A and B are shown apart, each in its own frame.
Chain A
Amino acid sequence: MADKPEKEFGKRKPVSVPASPRPAPPPAKRSGHVALLLMGTVAVGSTAYVLMPNRTCEPSPNAASMPYQQGSTECTSRGSSSGSHSSGSGGGSSRSSYYSSDSSSSSHSSSGTSDSAAHSAQRGGFGSFGHAVGFSGG
């Protein structure tokens, strides 16, 4: 068994909301700086970004000193036959290879799980309920 929770965890506390520092700038309620690192660099007029599963992104070593600048991140996308690689702007070409791979797969068994030919792990054990409904957010 895990340790018992700290006494304070989950207890109601007096509501503490920082007082507004107005009129001193910047105002309390607003964002100081909203910048995107990955999104928006590949998706002009398309849905390319959101349809790139298996994309791995890693901040470059100097990203900490410039956290909001595009180009400070390395991303790779794992496709079915060849991965694409890009820096900052991502790799929009992986979509077709990913989905052609997926659609041609015949590994899904009637039990809902499968053994990948390339890997020892079983797959397909999550998602069946959700795909029957179509969306998961609320």
Chain B
Amino acid sequence: MQRIPCPERDDWRATAESMGFCFHTIGGERYWDERAYYAFTLNEIERRFETPTAEIEAMCLELVGRAVSDEKYLRRLKIPEAFWPLISESWRRRDASLYGRLDLSYDGWSPAKLLEYNADTPTSLFEAAVFQWTWLEQAMERAIIPKRADQFNSLHERLIEAWKKIGGGKHLHLTGMTDNVEDGGTLAYLQDTATQAGLKTTLIDIKDVGLAGDGRFVDLEDRPIELAFKLYPWEWMSQDTFGAKLTAAPTRWVEPPWKAILSNKGILPLLWEMFPKHPNLLPAYFEDDPKATSLGSSFVRKPLYSREGANVTLVSAGTTLMEQQGPYGAEGYIRQALAPLPSNSDQYAVIGSWLVDHMPCGLSIREDENPITGNTSRFLPHAIV
């Protein structure tokens, strides 16, 4: 893995906007950043990311299978009991997963380590699937990168294929917080791919989802919502007013309720317990587990529920090096061994390894001056050279 500075395309902003990529700059700061790219060999992509991602996904599915059969797991994850039937039924029905993203730490020579699984509501999808690909094509044309470069990226066509499997002739509603530009962009892109898969689609804000008298969720025209993609976390769905109605309603959700298990940071200690010393896992324990002291005085403290690095604390030799503020932590914390992110040119990089329909199929890289990457971390493209 090499971070290679390179010239920007002088028209990339216009290109982004012409494609509907409206959040390339957030709060006046670059989000999309092509002043450098990350270069990998094909062997590195396959050995360090593609194969381990498939392995981690398989371990995660095994964990879900155990959790829905043994309430001890669900208690440890602090998943509310009222939500258990919804989760276990969705697993037993084999409700389909569309996509997810593993966040990995990779130092360039040792096995990549799982930092967390964005299993429920991953964003940065459009830029990974489409705009990163456009960069590759144009950067090759303009001799910014080698002519024969490649990219680990078949996200777009795999999303279309996955929708064909999931859709089954149903009308798809896509819902989330459409007034958030990044969430709205992700929903718009997924609507695009679903439409290309032949599905009839409707985009609806999460607050406009209705509850009919017969217990069904409906859209603004009171049409029953049979199949819904939701870019809104399960732990929030379950706590909102309609949360109590989820179990009885016939709506099938993407991501399915069983993904609530995998988006919980508590899977990190559970995976370590099930697969100790796995090369792609870091030692991790629930904070109230006496074994947590085995991590010593250097660790990362993460809330069970957290997004974009919020409420994550980085402790080294007993000293808090970095702490991200946020609204999470009420359900408890886990501790994970400290695996400092590799720093290139004083930038810390996290690898996002994407899965569609459980298949590893793409890579994205977020970079920050801060060793805890978050909502404002920049997106850099990658190439196989």
Binding site for B on A (CB under 8 A): 1-6, 9-13, 15-17, 20, 22, 27, 29-34, 36-47, 49-59, 63-64, 67-68, 73, 78, 111-113, 116, 119-138
27 contacts between A and B (CB under 8 A): A5-B91, A10-B61, A12-B61, A15-B55, A31-B151, A33-B157, A34-B133, A34-B157, A37-B196, A39-B189, A39-B192, A40-B18, A40-B20, A50-B20, A53-B205, A113-B241, A119-B222, A123-B211, A125-B240, A126-B237, A127-B240, A130-B232, A131-B207, A134-B180, A136-B233, A137-B124, A138-B120
A124 to B184, CA, bound (A): 18
Q: What does the 1/0 interface line of B221-241 toward A look like (CB < 8 Å)?
A: 110000000011100110111
Q: What does the 1/0 interface line of B107-132 toward A look like (CB < 8 Å)?
A: 00000000000101111101001100
Question: Known contacts A38-B191, A40-B20: does B236 contact A130 (CB below 8 Å)?
Answer: yes
Q: When A and B form their complex, which 6 residue pairs have the shortest distance between CB atoms, in order from nearest?
A: A137-B123, A121-B210, A125-B242, A50-B184, A10-B65, A127-B207
A32 to B133, CA, bound (A): 10
Please, which residues of chain B bring their CB within 8 A of the CB of A4? 92
Residue of A44, A50, A63 touching B188 (CB-CB under 8 A): A50
Question: Known contacts A122-B211, A127-B205: does B198 contact A64 (CB below 8 Å)?
Answer: yes
Query: Distance in Å from the Cβ of B329 to the closest Cβ of chain A?
Result: 13
Which residue of chain B is the closest to A32 with respect to CB atoms?
B157
Question: Known contacts A29-B153, A44-B17, A123-B207: does B42 contact A22 (CB below 8 Å)?
Answer: yes
B152 at the interface (CB under 8 A from A): yes
| Most chain A Cβ neighbours within 10 Å, of B18, B42, B208, B209 | B208
Are B210's CB and A119's CB within 8 A? Answer: yes
Question: Known contacts A3-B92, A138-B308: does B236 contact A129 (CB below 8 Å)?
Answer: yes
The stretch that binds A, out of B30-38, B45-53, B285-293, B335-343, is: B45-53
